[in-house]
């Protein structure tokens, strides 16, 4: 990946970036969602070393879902 993580402050910065390929966006966001970046004693937060502040794993997953478009949201039964 040629784009450094530190350039992005929030998962939606990645998801909405106009020049990143969808595969690159997914790879970056999947890395952020990894348990490897979980904040100690705050399992719902992630903080890759390149980021200044932690982000919610829910925000990471929402950004990933946004890449699939509005019609891909799961339906409740």
**Average pLDDT, 10 consecutive residues per value, the chain (77 residues):** 62 90 93 92 90 91 90 52
pLDDT of residue 77: 47
Indicate the pTM of the whole model: 0.76
Terminal-residue alpha carbon distance, the chain: 39
């Amino acid at each position: 990946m040629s784009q450094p993580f530190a350039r992005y402050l929030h998962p939606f910065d990645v998801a909405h970036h106009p020049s990143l390929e969808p595969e690159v966006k997914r790879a970056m966001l999947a890395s952020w969602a990894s348990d490897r970046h979980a904040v100690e004693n705050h399992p719902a937060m992630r903080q890759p070393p390149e980021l200044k502040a932690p982000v919610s794993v829910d925000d990471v997953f929402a950004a990933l879902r946004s890449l699939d478009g509005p019609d891909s949201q799961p339906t409740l039964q």
